[in-house]
Amino acid sequence: MSLAEEFTPVEDDEPDAQARPEELRLLEALLFAAGEPLDEKALADRMPSGTDLRTALRRLQTEYAPRGVNLVRIGNKWAFRTANDLAWLLTHEAIQPKKLSRAALETLAIIAYHQPVTRAEIEEIRGISGAKGTLDVLLEIGWIRPRGRRKAPGRPITYSTNEAFLSHFGLESLTDLPGLDELKGAGLFDGSLPAGFNVPMPSDDPALREDEEPLEEGDLDLTLAPRSDGEEEE
Amino acid sequence: MSLAEEFTPVEDDEPDAQARPEELRLLEALLFAAGEPLDEKALADRMPSGTDLRTALRRLQTEYAPRGVNLVRIGNKWAFRTANDLAWLLTHEAIQPKKLSRAALETLAIIAYHQPVTRAEIEEIRGISGAKGTLDVLLEIGWIRPRGRRKAPGRPITYSTNEAFLSHFGLESLTDLPGLDELKGAGLFDGSLPAGFNVPMPSDDPALREDEEPLEEGDLDLTLAPRSDGEEEE
Amino acid sequence: MTDTGSAEIVALAAEPERAADEPALIVDVEGFEGPLDLLLRLAREQKVDLAKISILALADQYLTFIEEARRLRLELAADYLVMAAWLAYLKSRLLLPEPPGGPGESAADLANALALRLQRLEAIRLAAKRLLERPQLGRDVFQRGAPEPINEIKRPQWSATLYDLLTAYARERQKQALARVRLTTRKVWSLADARAILERLVEVATEWTAIDQYLIEYVVEPSMRATALASSLAASLEMAREGQLELQQATAFAPLYMRRRSAPVPDGTVGQS
């Protein structure tokens, strides 16, 4: 049963209701029910003759100004619209399940295990150039962050994963990522690995390493710039 | 040039505007913007947490009661509607309603007052067979719905009205059905009806009754199948 | 319901002015909604409260109507005939003295049940009428004419799992690991490479020179030594055969010396082993 059943309009709440001119009732009904904004002629035609439309519209606009619905003029026409400041109320966030591209997943995995890692290093491990688009995707999703610059020619940016990454993949810390033996045990690597093949022990220690230096101001803007679609690797 | 250009809302006209809670602005914006009635859960979801929805809806309903646009309750939902007495003004907006056949109208009334009810029970009250075509018409208009099956030989489908019915006829709930009390008082709704038919009050409570069981998959398709024209009763 | 029952009958009776052998009409399409509807209209003729109606008189009226319809060769729907049979039965029960302790319901009970059915149908018709008199949406009251749609913001939810991540990592690393092994096996000195280098070397080797020294200068990686030596030996033998250079080696595994041959010699002096 609904909470509304006990509702009965409380009459004494609006002492001025009686004093409100009938024209205002008519105008608000007309403007509410209309499928499109109405011009003054259309309104005048439908209102009782002798109505002072100017005054009535003005009073109605004033009445509604502080409300969640305003009476607005659009061109030469009038319409009710929800108040501008309430646009947020009329937006609905729909969750859209999306699959990460294979390139993005591989790049993310390399960052997770090899962090801090530069774009060139990712490309070397993957044996494919063009990691920029993928990095931008991952930055946009918010699972990686630029954390510093490598002390090397070109001072490339180093990337690491962040807390959102841990949270999404249900990891307490990067040390929870399985090592080579566990990956082998899970059947993810087959037997034909060369001698000396290794999987790094990832660390998300925020302290910069010896071969890293901090990002400068402006670096973040740069790396978060909207990616150009042409570069995207999907 | 429009008269509207010179309009600037006159602040001193509404001294109470400042005192009006923000919740009312949000609620009226939501309800005004929506094309369809909104249920209390949807409203609560959009309102800031801690909002006393009961109080806010009640106050809004009171505020709008004397206006040309009223806040009405439809089942568990709320919507703004033009005031009942202004039909004469809104002839532009009026759509010629499809005229319901006498058979369809009577069948609708039987479902409304006796729900949940089976086709055989409808035929019994009307003293005529062939209610199928009429039921199909009402299902197509969208005022009734199959809601379950009666635990009886043949497991006939039970029908009830739905929210679109309440909305169309401006009923807050089934207890507002016109003349319900008199009809009930005259003992006409619980006379020598078939077993399990002596329903004290019509109810569209979605919970099935003791003598009902749920529809199965496919039941809906069956009952909503396009009616064959031959069976149509108009 | 503007017409009275009798008016309907008159209309019905007057209507079919056609040859007797023409197909008959079905009465209920002519304005009656079934036998109860017909009974209800006939009852109105009695102009009394439905609760006080004479069921006997009503049964008579109904049966008369049916007979009239038959006389006019109107085809009646089965519902009407069933009702006629039932009313004829009821009439006989009502006219005969009730057998004491007879089976089932008394005739009066049956008559009352019929009266109740008629009242119920009338009540539901009244209810339907009042329902129809209510303000209706789209006719009398209106919803917002220009609703403002809710903007949908699509928020992606990424479906990658830890398993996906690990699989991707292993796949990527394995692929590269195997690719690198192939790359190193390709790192050999081909005979052509060796010969090109030797041809450049012999330009300066006018004196006996240990070939190893030159080669090590060129071959940085120790892992390449074997392939470099093998290929250059084969290339140098080839070049000696062509008379471009001379080779000499003191013993097995001793350094291999070579020098450019100043002038062609008919008999090759390929080094002694």
What tokens were used for A123? 């490309």
For every residue of B188-200, DSSP letters joined together read GGGSSPPTT---S
Residues B123, B37 within the same domain: no
Helices A22-33 and A53-64: crossing angle in degrees, nearest 10, is: 70
Binary contact (B170, C123; C-beta < 8 A):
no
Give pLDDT tens digits for B18-34: 578 888 999 999 999 98
- Is 80 exceeded by the pLDDT of residue B231? no
What tokens were used for C12? 């019905």
Alpha-carbon gap: B69 to the closest alpha carbon of chain A (Å): 6
Among A84, A116, A135, the domain boundary falls at A84
Which of the pair, B101 or C268, is modelled with greater confidence?
Answer: B101
Average pLDDT of the residues in A32-37: 89
Integer angstrom CA distances of residue C89 from A41, A53, C110? 72, 73, 10
Residues A114, A219 within the same domain: yes
Check if B73 contacts A (Cβ < 8 Å): yes
State the count of interchain CB pairs (< 8 A) between A and C: 126
Per-residue pLDDT, B30? 92
Among B32, B54, B84, the domain boundary falls at B84
Task: Examine residue B41 and state whether it is found in any structural domain, yes or no.
Answer: yes
Which residues are CB-contacts of C228 (< 8 A; sequence separation ≥ 6)? C189, C194, C215, C218, C219
Task: Look up the domain containing A41 and give its range.
Answer: 20-84
Binary contact (B178, C127; C-beta < 8 A):
yes
Alpha-carbon gap: C163 to the closest alpha carbon of chain A (Å): 9
Edge-to-edge strands, sheet with B117-118: B117-118, B157-161, B144-150, B212-213
For testing the chain A interface, which of B45, B92, B175 should be mutated: the one with the most A CBs within 10 Å?
B92
Position A95 confidence tier, pLDDT thresholds 50, 70, 90: confident
Binary contact (A63, B13; C-beta < 8 A):
yes
With CA atoms as reference, the chain C residue closest to B34 would be: C147
Residues B123, B196 within the same domain: yes
Residues A69, A109 within the same domain: no
Residues in A closer than 8 angstroms to B63, CB to CB, are 13-14
Task: Examine residue A2 and state whether it is found in any structural domain, yes or no.
Answer: no
Which of the pair, A82 or B200, is modelled with greater confidence?
Answer: A82
Check if C270 contacts A (Cβ < 8 Å): no
- Is 70 exceeded by the pLDDT of residue B194? no
CATH of the domain at B29: 1.10.10.10
Q: Is C273 exposed, middle or buried (0-12, 13-18, 19+ CB in 10 A)?
A: exposed
Binary contact (B2, A58; C-beta < 8 A):
no
Give pLDDT tens digits for C47-56: 767 777 788 8
Give pLDDT tens digits for A67-93: 999 999 888 889 999 998 988 888 877
Task: Examine residue B4 and state whether it is found in any structural domain, yes or no.
Answer: no
Task: Examine residue A13 and state whether it is found in any structural domain, yes or no.
Answer: no
Residues B137, B168 within the same domain: yes
Residues in C closer than 8 angstroms to A170, CB to CB, are 162
Average pLDDT of the residues in A17-27: 82
Residues B38, B75 within the same domain: yes
Per-residue pLDDT, A221? 53
Residues A108, A196 within the same domain: yes
Per-residue pLDDT, C230? 80
Binary contact (B169, C137; C-beta < 8 A):
yes
With CA atoms as reference, the chain C residue closest to A82 would be: C148
Residues A106, A68 within the same domain: no
Alpha-carbon gap: B82 to the closest alpha carbon of chain A (Å): 5
Binary contact (C136, B84; C-beta < 8 A):
no
CB C248 within 8 A of CB C271: yes
Task: Examine residue A126 and state whether it is found in any structural domain, yes or no.
Answer: yes
What tokens were used for C87? 């009313």
Least confident of B115-119, B186-190, C17-21: C17-21
- How far apart are alpha carbons A109 and A111 in whole angstroms? 5
Per-residue pLDDT, A218? 65
Q: How many residues does chain A have?
A: 234
Residues in C closer than 8 angstroms to A172, CB to CB, are none
Q: In which residue ranges of chain C is pLDDT below 70?
A: 1-31, 48, 100-104, 178-188, 212-223, 263-273
Residues A121, A187 within the same domain: yes
E-strand ranges in chain B read 38-39, 69-74, 77-82, 117-118, 144-150, 157-161, 212-213
CB A145 within 8 A of CB A160: yes
Single out the residue of C9, C132, C87, C95 nearest to residue B127, CA to CA: C87
Percent of chain B surpassing pLDDT 70? 77
Alpha-carbon gap: B168 to the closest alpha carbon of chain C (Å): 5
Single out the residue of B116, B121, B125 nearest to residue B149, CA to CA: B116
Binary contact (B32, A90; C-beta < 8 A):
no
Work out the number of other CB atoms within 10 angstroms of the CB of residue C167: 17
With CA atoms as reference, the chain C residue closest to B191 would be: C116
Which of the pair, A101 or A225, is modelled with greater confidence?
Answer: A101
Binary contact (A109, C168; C-beta < 8 A):
yes
Alpha-carbon gap: A40 to the closest alpha carbon of chain B (Å): 8
pTM, two decimals, is 0.60
Give pLDDT tens digits for A111-141: 999 989 999 999 888 888 878 889 999 999 8
Check if A189 contacts B (Cβ < 8 Å): no
- Is 80 exceeded by the pLDDT of residue A164? yes
Binary contact (C135, B35; C-beta < 8 A):
no
Residues in B closer than 8 angstroms to A88, CB to CB, are none
Binary contact (C169, A110; C-beta < 8 A):
yes
Binary contact (B34, C147; C-beta < 8 A):
yes
Position A173 confidence tier, pLDDT thresholds 50, 70, 90: confident
- How far apart are alpha carbons C16 and C180 in whole angstroms? 101
> Which chains contact C through at least 3 pairs of Cβ atoms less than 8 Å apart?
A, B
Task: Examine residue B228 and state whether it is found in any structural domain, yes or no.
Answer: no
> Which chains contact A through at least 3 pairs of Cβ atoms less than 8 Å apart?
B, C
Task: Examine residue A177 and state whether it is found in any structural domain, yes or no.
Answer: yes
Task: Examine residue B12 and state whether it is found in any structural domain, yes or no.
Answer: no
Give the mean pLDDT of chain B.
Answer: 79
CB A168 within 8 A of CB C158: yes
Binary contact (C174, A189; C-beta < 8 A):
yes
Which of the pair, A180 or B118, is modelled with greater confidence?
Answer: B118
Residues B43, B125 within the same domain: no
Residues in C closer than 8 angstroms to B170, CB to CB, are 134-137, 141
Residues B77, B131 within the same domain: no
Per-residue pLDDT, B142? 92
Binary contact (C177, A186; C-beta < 8 A):
no
Per-residue pLDDT, B64? 95
Find residues 15-44 of chain A whose CB sits inside 8 Å of chain B: 17-18, 20, 24-30, 32-35, 40
Binary contact (A34, C145; C-beta < 8 A):
yes
Work out the number of other CB atoms within 10 angstroms of the CB of residue B73: 22
Per-residue pLDDT, A18? 55
Per-residue pLDDT, B191? 38
> How many domains, in total, are found in chain B?
2
Residues in C closer than 8 angstroms to B35, CB to CB, are 143-144, 147, 149
Residues A147, A39 within the same domain: no
- How far apart are alpha carbons A37 and A208 in whole angstroms? 61
For testing the chain B interface, which of A11, A82, A90 should be mutated: the one with the most B CBs within 10 Å?
A82
